[in-house]
Amino acid sequence: NGQGMLFNDQTSGDAASLQIVNSTTGQNKEEKKDLGSVLASIGSDILSETSKQKIIDAVKTDSMASYVSEGLKNALVTYLSVKPVESVNDNPQFIVETTLTSCKLLTSQSGVSVQVEATARIIDRTTGAIVWDDSETETVPIRSNGNYADQDKNQTLNKVLGAVQLASLSETEIQNVVNQASKSAGRLMGDTLREDIIKSKQK
């Protein structure tokens, strides 16, 4: 409680490229393809080559890892009043390592979702011991306004985007909605941490 923490994030080899689950056929078959190819498989005449390339360029999994880490950081500051630091030169007591292990785009007739898998662990710098770790999988529909905190509050403004609608966004907007989905996974880790804190105080 109140200790300095250094936050590091990284992307594992499996998350370096986007994995695609095309559930439009109901078979939920996973294929490793580039994002443009998968969206085009929904209908070859739906997306132009320019649109496909824009999406490929916009979705960067390395930035998603930092958003997962940010969600966890916010939880640690809220529940334990930790003090985030910039480098080891600030002599943090703990190091928090967050790893994006998998990133999938789920496509279906009902819309597009991002599934993020990530792990996190808190390491005591003095002893090298892992004092807490967690692994979470979060599936978040990509929504028009990027608001994931209250998904059902306004169905008109907060509707799930389809593949064609996703392609119509700017590159910045595409990256933003995907990053916000990643941040949601970090918040889920934070909820797990909060529950673990409660259990530890009851012992």
Q: What is the DSSP string of 114-151?
A: EEEEEEEEEEETTT--EEEEEEEEEEEE-BTT---SST
96 neighbors 75 (Cβ within 8 angstroms): no
Q: Answer yes or no: are the C-beta atoms of 142 and 112 closer than 8 Å.
A: yes
> What is the pTM for the complete model shown?
0.72
pLDDT computed for residue 94 by the predictor: 97
49 against 21, higher pLDDT = 21
pLDDT of residue 23: 61
Question: Residue 122: pLDDT above 90?
Answer: yes
Query: HSE of 168 in the Cβ direction (CA atoms, 13 Å)?
Result: 7
Residue 145 confidence class, pLDDT cut points 50, 70, 90: low
Cβ atoms 39, 52 nearer than 8 A: yes
Contact assessment for residue 174 and residue 124, using Cβ atoms and an 8 Å cutoff: no
Dihedral, 177, 182, 183, 185 alpha carbons, nearest 10: 140
Residue 119 pLDDT greater than 50, yes or no: yes
Share of the chain above pLDDT 90, in %: 24
- For residue range 61-79, list pLDDT tens digits in order: 888 889 889 888 998 898 8
Average pLDDT score, the chain:
75
* Angstrom distances, CA of residue 51 to CA of 58, 151, 168, 196: 11, 27, 7, 44
pLDDT digit string, tens, across residues 68-118: 898 889 988 988 899 999 999 999 999 999 999 988 877 676 677 778 889
According to the model, what pLDDT value does residue 56 have?
66
The whole-angstrom separation of Cα 140 and Cα 120 is 19
